[in-house]
Amino acid sequence: MMKIPASHPRYKSLLYRHRVVDGFRKGFVADAGLIAHGRGEAFDYLIGEKSVKEAIIAQRAAVAAIHLSKNPVISVNGNTAALVPGEVVSLAEVCKAGIEVNLFYRTVKRENLIADILKKHGASEVLGIGDHMKMIQGIESERARADLKGIWSADLVLVPLEDGDRTEALRKMDKCVISIDLNPLSRTSQHATIPIVDNVVRVIPNMIEFAREMSNWGKDRLEETVYGFDKENNLETMISLMREGL
Ligand code: ATP
């Protein structure tokens, strides 16, 4: 991987960009994943590349919802595996959630490479690999695949960097969908139960911290945090902030 001097004014942004490029070179990030990352960078620029108040509110509501759920699953694609593999494994551990590989541009090679990365970072089980799969209705792409033990039976799915069709389909299956997508206008953000408009590289570490903090909260307090979340208002504020940023 290319060495970026730590003194570079855009060190962090370049570091993450190179992680995605490196993932592409190793064969587990799709070429379209590079474009998706660039689009994310542009939105991130407009919010000052930081987790703004509304994003934190959404992340806290999301963690409370995960703690209330019975069978939460974190869906992982190539970009997420390139950017925050260890953090995803830690979050799954703290939240007792499953981890499932799910790819738009699926190949068995990419699937296995991602599973290996997650296992190298400590995941004991990675779902979404093998033949115990069902196809979710209403999705044209390979993303329709869902593990019977994972997303198929989950009551809550955390979907970083998702596409709108799958978010809609998962909602139709009555699952609580938490999205992480820097674009507040995407169909994913619009359809998710709790959309988080923030960079996945900040969101997952934040969520680990909140999950630890809320681990001994009672049901009432968790429910209050979830039901207090106003999705429309949150997305509107994110759009206004981006307009101001511009
Ligand atoms: P939709 O189908 O939901 O309307 P789309 O098809 O326009 O979305 P995709 O190309 O599937 O979008 O998705 C990539 C999305 O992921 C983009 O909206 C982009 O802003 C977002 N994204 C990319 N990198 C990150 C990141 N690091 N953190 C959060 N979001 C990101």
Q: What is the 80 CA–ligand 1 centroid distance (Å)?
A: 11
Q: What is the 165 CA–ligand 1 centroid distance (Å)?
A: 12
Does residue 7 surpass a pLDDT of 90?
A: no
Where helices occur in 51-199 by DSSP H, the ranges are 53-68, 78-83, 85-95, 108-120, 164-172, 187-191
Pocket residue to mutate for ligand 1, from 24, 29, 161, most atoms within 8 A of Cβ: 161
Distance of CA 72 to the CA centre of its chain: 13
Does residue 2 surpass a pLDDT of 70?
A: no
State residue 96's pLDDT score. 97
User: For 175-232, how does the pLDDT look when each residue is reduced to its tens digit (9 = 90+)?
Assistant: 999 999 999 999 999 999 999 999 999 999 999 999 999 999 999 999 999 999 999 9
Q: What is the pTM of this model?
A: 0.96
Q: Give the mean model confidence (pLDDT) for residues 27-51.
A: 97
Q: What is the 166 CA–ligand 1 centroid distance (Å)?
A: 13
User: What's the CA gap between 51 and 205, in Å, rounded?
Assistant: 11
Contact 177, 196 (CB under 8 A): no
State residue 79's pLDDT score. 97
Q: Return the higher-pLDDT residue of 113 and 12.
A: 113
Q: Give the mean model confidence (pLDDT) for residues 118-145.
A: 92
Does residue 9 surpass a pLDDT of 80?
A: no
**229 C-beta neighbours (distance < 10 Å), count:** 17
Pocket residue to mutate for ligand 1, from 19, 44, 163, most atoms within 8 A of Cβ: 163
- On average, the pLDDT of the chain sits at 95
Q: Measuring from atom 26 of ligand 1, which residue has the nearest CA?
A: 199
Map residue 77 onto helix, strand or coil. coil
Residue 55: pLDDT band by 50, 70, 90 thresholds?
A: very high
Q: Measuring from atom 5 of ligand 1, which residue has the nearest CA?
A: 163
Does residue 1 surpass a pLDDT of 90?
A: no
Question: In this structure, what are the phi and psi dihedrals at residue 8, rounded to the nearest 5 degrees?
Answer: -60, 135
Atom of ligand 1 nearest to the CA of 35: 10
User: For 146-155, how does the pLDDT look when each residue is reduced to its tens digit (9 = 90+)?
Assistant: 999 999 999 9
Catalogue all structural domains in the chain, each as residue range(s) with its CATH number: 53-245 (3.40.50.12640)
Q: Tokens for 147? A: 């593990």
Q: What is the 220 CA–ligand 1 centroid distance (Å)?
A: 33
Residue 10: pLDDT band by 50, 70, 90 thresholds?
A: confident
User: What's the CA gap between 163 and 228, in Å, rounded?
Assistant: 26
Does residue 98 surpass a pLDDT of 90?
A: yes
Query: Out of 136-145, 194-203, 237-246, which region has the weakest mean confidence (pLDDT)?
Result: 136-145
Q: What is the 41 CA–ligand 1 centroid distance (Å)?
A: 10
Q: Measuring from atom 6 of ligand 1, which residue has the nearest CA?
A: 163
Q: What is the 75 CA–ligand 1 centroid distance (Å)?
A: 14
Query: Out of 32-46, 51-65, 69-83, 135-149, which region has the weakest mean confidence (pLDDT)?
Result: 135-149
